[in-house]
């Protein structure tokens, strides 16, 4: 099942399978699809609250598909507090794999549930934004949204 949610960053398509969210994609040309399940309705509501600055964490069942290492990275991403950032090196160190910065970056880039699993909170060691699979402008927006909501 899928639903389309309007956001300040454009249309977002949410995909649910077996009672959990498995994907969140920015889909500017997607047809409007109203949430048809309680989970998709809840996810749409929580995203609306997030974009308004009223929600700082998500309480949704997530089931991203990936390797064991990707799952470890995505789990660690969920531990980065709202409005804060970590470098790729810091995230690798948290996983007890300090030399795995590039692998962490690769797993970060394959996150199928951006925003819900906050890969935008990972930046370069020099404080630069690094990359973002959804586009650097979206990453900049999300970081600014969280910083402004913390004020």
Helix intervals (H) in 53-100: 68-77, 88-94
Q: Return left, alpha or beta for 111; rule: phi > 0 is left, psi -120 to 50 is alpha, else beta.
A: beta
Contacts for 134 with CB less than 8 Å, ≥ 6 apart: 26, 114
134 is known as an active-site residue: no
Note whether 110 and 70 are within 8 A (CB).
yes
Note whether 8 and 141 are within 8 A (CB).
yes
What is the rounded CA–CA span in Å between residue 74 and residue 32?
A: 29
* Residues recognised as catalytic: 119
């Amino acid at each position: 099942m899928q639903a389309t949610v309007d956001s300040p960053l454009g249309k977002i398509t949410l995909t649910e399978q077996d009672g959990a969210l498995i994907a969140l994609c920015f889909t500017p040309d997607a047809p409007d699809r109203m949430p048809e399940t309680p989970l998709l309705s809840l996810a749409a509501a929580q995203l609306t609250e997030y974009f308004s600055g009223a929600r700082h964490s998500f309480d949704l069942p997530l089931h991203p598909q990936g390797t064991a290492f990707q799952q470890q990275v995505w789990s660690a991403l969920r531990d980065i507090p709202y409005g804060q950032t970590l470098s790729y090196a810091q995230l690798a160190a948290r996983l007890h794999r300090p030399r795995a910065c590039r692998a962490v970056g690769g797993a970060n880039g394959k996150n199928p549930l951006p925003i819900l699993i906050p890969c935008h909170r990972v930046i370069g060691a020099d404080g630069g934004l690094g990359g973002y699979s959804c586009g650097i402008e979206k990453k900049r927006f999300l970081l600014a949204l969280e910083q402004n909501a913390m004020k």
